[in-house]
Amino acid sequence: MKELAGRLTALDPDAGAAVRVIAYFDRLAESRAGVEALVRGAAVLAGCPARLVDPDRRVHVRVEADGIRRDAGPPPDPAWPSAPLDPEGAGALWLERAGAGPGAVSTRAEPTRVGTEPLAAAPSVVDAVLLERAAGALRVVLDRTRGRAPADDPALVETLLDATAPEQARVHAARRLGLDPASPARAVAPLNGRPRVISGVVPPGGPARADAALPFSVLRGTVDAGPGGAPARTEGADPAAEQAGTRSGTGLPAARLGIGPAVPVLELPRSWAEARTALRFTAEGTAQDPGPRVVYADELGGIALLADLVAPGSEPPPDVRALETAAATAPWLPATLHAVASTASLRAAAAGINLHHSTLQDRLTHAEHLLGWPIRTPQGRLRLQLALAMRRLARP
């Protein structure tokens, strides 16, 4: 093969490079190289990051041109060259070659790593051969090692989130669901819906905020996710609510969500507990119940301690009672106070609720009279923020 590649290179550099690519992946396949090694080979040979995304098997591997695995990265660009793993599946191998059409190839390949001369810059042919051979080898390895991940099994997700389940049972559940116990995952608690487990690489902006195709999987379970609810099985999750809509591109429901911190899979019970706490800090996002519909537990910080002090359905603290009394006489008050408490300045608050600055000042004067404390001082603003948070926590 090496001699043939040399002869072909003298006649047609692209043909010679393509033969070397074929030989390279044949050697990897013969040595039973794993998924990451194959993606690394594609990245190093192509001289640009390579990304394997297989949602069916919940596999996401991204390796940069220097051979180092870095799973975080921008969403796949349709303009990148790619090859499907299966004609009927969603899995694909991508070459993150910005500004190049399908089949293009860079001249930055590192010959010492692959035993070839630098790939010639022409590229479409070489890129196409590289993708085809790498995708074929990856398909074989995935079929051999991963098979097909089972459909989301609520009982398995329940086991993953159950702190009382033996570790061996949770390891078994993770494997059945196709989860890597060493990979990060988050528990998601929707209001009146089935819990989710987000596995894989979660983008910095968070799964509920992303709009693009994302390199993670969402698994559903059957644990009661109501605020303060115990993690007990429920058979009555509302299917209509499940179908009521999902956040664009995330697989998550459009309902209020509490999202737990990213943890190793075996620590998901802790993430689930914190997700349920975060859910209590969410709001409907309406004029009468303003606030975030999605709350991340790891963004709460010390304010999460309030959840232990204010039980759902308990007698509201005095400041919350003052808020409710004031809101009964001034319907505009909850949204106005939320805008003031959640923005950096009064001008920003006025802009957020489409008020003139002077109108906002008049409202705040009236609100301070109703509440009985100032809300334009740092101390008063903190008291207002706590009162709004406790108002959500005290709901049944």
pLDDT digits (tens, 9 = 90+) for 366-390: 999 999 999 999 999 999 999 999 9
List phi, psi (to 5°) of 145: -105, -30
Task: For 236-269, write each residue's pLDDT tens digit.
Answer: 333 333 444 455 445 566 789 999 999 988 999 9
Q: What is the pLDDT of residue 302?
A: 92
| Residue in 72, 76, 98 with CA at minimum distance from that of residue 205 | 72
| Residue in 221, 220, 219, 217 with CA at minimum distance from that of residue 158 | 221
Delineate the domains of the chain, giving CATH numbers in brackets: 1-98+125-146 (no CATH), 149-202+255-308 (no CATH), 310-394 (1.10.10.2840)
Q: Where residue 336 falls among pLDDT bands split at 50, 70, 90?
A: very high
Helix (H, G, I), strand (E, B) or coil at 293: coil
Q: Where residue 89 falls among pLDDT bands split at 50, 70, 90?
A: confident
Count CB atoms within 10 A of the CB of residue 55: 20
- For the segment 230-234, the average pLDDT, to the nearest whole number, is 33
Q: Kindly tell me if the per-residue pLDDT of 123 is higher than 70.
A: no
Helices (H), the chain: 2-11, 13-30, 35-46, 111-114, 123-145, 154-161, 167-176, 239-242, 268-280, 306-309, 318-329, 333-342, 346-352, 357-371, 378-393
Q: What is the pLDDT of residue 303?
A: 92
pTM for the whole structure: 0.57
List phi, psi (to 5°) of 184: -75, 155
| Residue in 283, 313, 307, 208 with CA at minimum distance from that of residue 252 | 208
Q: What is the longest distance spanned by two Cα atoms in the chain?
A: 90
Q: Where residue 356 falls among pLDDT bands split at 50, 70, 90?
A: very high
- For the segment 293-320, the average pLDDT, to the nearest whole number, is 92
| Residue in 213, 175, 214, 211 with CA at minimum distance from that of residue 198 | 214
Burial of 299 (0-12, 13-18, 19+ CB in 10 A): middle
Q: Kindly tell me if the per-residue pLDDT of 295 is higher than 80.
A: yes
